[in-house]
Amino acid sequence: MKNNAKIFLVAGFILIIVGFSFLFFIEKDFEKKDLLKISDFEIIKILKKDKDIKEYTQKYPDFKIESKEILTKESILTGQNAQDLKQIYEGLELENERYIKVQLMDLAGQNGFFGVIDFENNSVVKVFGILLFKASAESIKK
């Protein structure tokens, strides 16, 4: 009888843990943010958690969000296999609506940053500088 009581106790304990875990994940799923509703202000606030981007925004106060893109499984996979800029996508989980890729550029359109925000924990997971040059016959020397 005592053994049975022990088994019931352990089983009950396991059930409680499983139940809490289940509730935790369900709750987490409910808490998943609607990335379409994320404001530019919030994006910049999160990006500024990164030291380089914070310095960039101070150095180029005229910066603007050039583009922002909610990444999907497909766009991450495409980016990982693309010829250009693949490092932006490398290492990201193949998940829908978890990441936003942001491109910041200064007013002159020459200096900027690519940043990827992970909204699972509101962190900046990728940061790469951008230097963009306009090549024309006038600006180049042979």
Residues near another protein (CB under 8 A) are 52, 83-85, 87, 111, 114, 128-142
Residue 30 C-beta: closest distance to another protein, Å: 37
Pick 72 or 111: Cβ nearer another protein: 111
CB of 135 to another protein, least distance (A): 5
DSSP 42-76: HHHHHHTTSHHHHHHHHH-TT-EEEEEEE--HHHH
C-beta of 19 vs 129, nearer to another protein: 129
Smaller CB separation from another protein, 102 or 119:
102
Q: At its nearest, how many Å lie between another protein and the CB of residue 52?
A: 6
- Cα–Cα distance, 115 to 65 (Å, whole number): 11
Residue 22 DSSP SS3: helix
**Rounded Cα distance, 42 and 102, in Å:** 12
